[in-house]
C-alpha cells in the first residue's frame, strides 16, 4: 500500500522510500539556501516527487518554489501537498477545478517526544485516544500527523494560522478514517465536514485529507476513492 490508497481518483501522487534521490533546479537550490545534509536530502526528494507528480498530471514545471510561509507555490489551477520524514517522502497534486485542497503527512510510527502530546491534544482528544485499542499503532503520533494534514489543507486556502488546539479530531480505528471539527468562528464552509483517511505502511503512518469540489466549480460531490 502507498499514499495513493488514501487518495481519490483524480489525485496524482509520487513517493520515495528510504534511499532518497533527485535533483534541484538552480532556483530551488537558491530557495533552500544552506541546510544540513538531512534537510537537503528530504527537500530534494520532496521537490523531485512534486515535479514528477505535476508532470504526470499534465502540468510540468522546472522549479517549484516556496511562498512566505515556506508553502509550495503550485502552478495556477493546481492544488497539492508535500510530506517528508525519516525514510519516506511523497507529493500529491490535482486540478483545482476538481478538488479544492489536499493535505498529506507522513510520520515515523513511534511515540511523540515527552511533553509533545500535551501541546498537540485537547482534553477530549486525550480521552478518545485512551479508548482506542492497544496495538502497534502509536495513536499520539497519528493525532499529530492528522493535525499536520489539517494545516496543510487549511493554510493554502485561508493564508491564516490554525493552532493544534483549534481542531478536534475523532479517529475511527475500524474504518481507518478520522473527522475533524474546527473550533473557530467564521471559517470557510468547505471545512465544515473535514474528514480524512490514514494507514500504517511499514514503519510509517500516512494521513491524507482531500477537500471535495473545486474552488470555482461549486461541485461538492464526495471524492471517489480507490478500493
Going from N- to C-terminal start, the domains of the chain cover 12-95, 97-216
Confidence of residue 1 (pLDDT cuts 50, 70, 90): low
CB 72 within 8 A of CB 66: yes
**Which segments are annotated as binding site?**
39, 47, 83-84, 105-107, 148, 152, 162
* Nearby residues of 222 by Cβ (< 8 Å), 6 or more positions away: 212
Residue with cell 497519528: 142
Residue 1 or residue 102, greater confidence: 102
pLDDT digits (tens, 9 = 90+) for 103-133: 999 999 999 999 999 999 999 999 999 999 9
DSSP 132-199: SPPSSS-HHHHHHHHHHHHHHHHHHHH-S---GGGEEEEEETTTTEEEEEE-SSS--GGGTTEEEEEE
Look at the domain 97-216 and name its fold: Ribosomal Protein L22; Chain A (3.90.470)
Residue 21 or residue 128, greater confidence: 128
| Residue among 202, 215, 196 at smallest CA distance from 97 | 215
Tell me what pLDDT residue 222 has.
53
**Which segments are annotated as binding site for CoA?**
39, 47, 83-84, 105, 148, 152, 162
* Rg (the chain; Cα; Å): 17
**Which segments are annotated as binding site for Mg(2+)?**
105-107
**DSSP conformation class of 7:** S
Rounded (5°) CA angle 77-82-84: 175
pLDDT digits (tens, 9 = 90+) for 179-210: 999 999 999 999 998 999 999 988 999 999 99
Tell me what pLDDT residue 226 has.
52
**3-state SS string over 44-87?**
HHHHHHHHHHHHHHCCCCCCCCECCCCCECCCCCEEEEEEEECC
Amino acid at each position: 500500500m502507498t499514499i495513493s490508497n488514501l487518495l481519490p481518483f483524480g489525485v496524482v501522487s509520487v513517493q520515495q522510500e528510504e534511499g532518497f534521490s533527485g535533483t534541484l533546479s538552480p532556483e530551488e537550490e537558491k530557495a533552500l539556501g544552506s541546510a544540513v545534509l538531512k534537510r537537503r536530502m528530504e527537500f530534494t526528494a520532496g521537490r523531485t516527487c512534486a515535479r514528477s507528480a505535476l508532470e504526470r498530471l499534465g502540468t510540468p514545471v522546472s522549479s517549484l518554489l516556496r511562498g512566505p510561509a515556506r508553502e509550495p507555490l503550485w502552478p495556477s489551477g493546481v492544488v497539492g501537498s508535500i510530506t517528508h520524514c525519516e525514510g519516506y517522502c511523497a507529493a500529491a497534486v490535482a486540478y483545482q477545478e476538481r478538488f479544492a485542497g489536499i493535505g498529506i503527512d507522513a510520520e515515523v510510527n513511534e511515540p511523540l517526544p515527552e511533553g509533545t502530546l500535551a501541546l498537540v491534544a485537547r482534553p477530549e482528544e486525550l480521552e478518545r485516544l485512551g479508548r482506542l485499542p492497544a496495538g502497534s499503532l502509536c495513536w499520539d503520533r497519528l493525532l499529530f500527523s492528522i493535525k499536520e494534514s489539517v494545516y496543510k489543507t487549511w493554510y493554502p486556502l485561508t493564508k491564516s494560522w490554525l493552532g493544534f488546539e483549534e481542531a478536534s479530531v475523532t479517529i475511527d480505528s475500524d474504518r481507518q478514517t478520522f473527522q475533524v471539527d474546527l473550533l473557530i468562528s467564521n471559517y470557510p464552509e468547505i471545512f465544515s465536514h473535514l474528514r480524512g483517511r490514514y494507514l500504517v505502511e511499514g514503519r510509517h503512518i500516512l494521513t491524507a485529507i482531500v477537500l471535495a469540489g473545486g474552488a470555482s466549480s461549486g461541485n461538492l460531490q464526495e471524492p471517489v476513492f480507490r478500493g
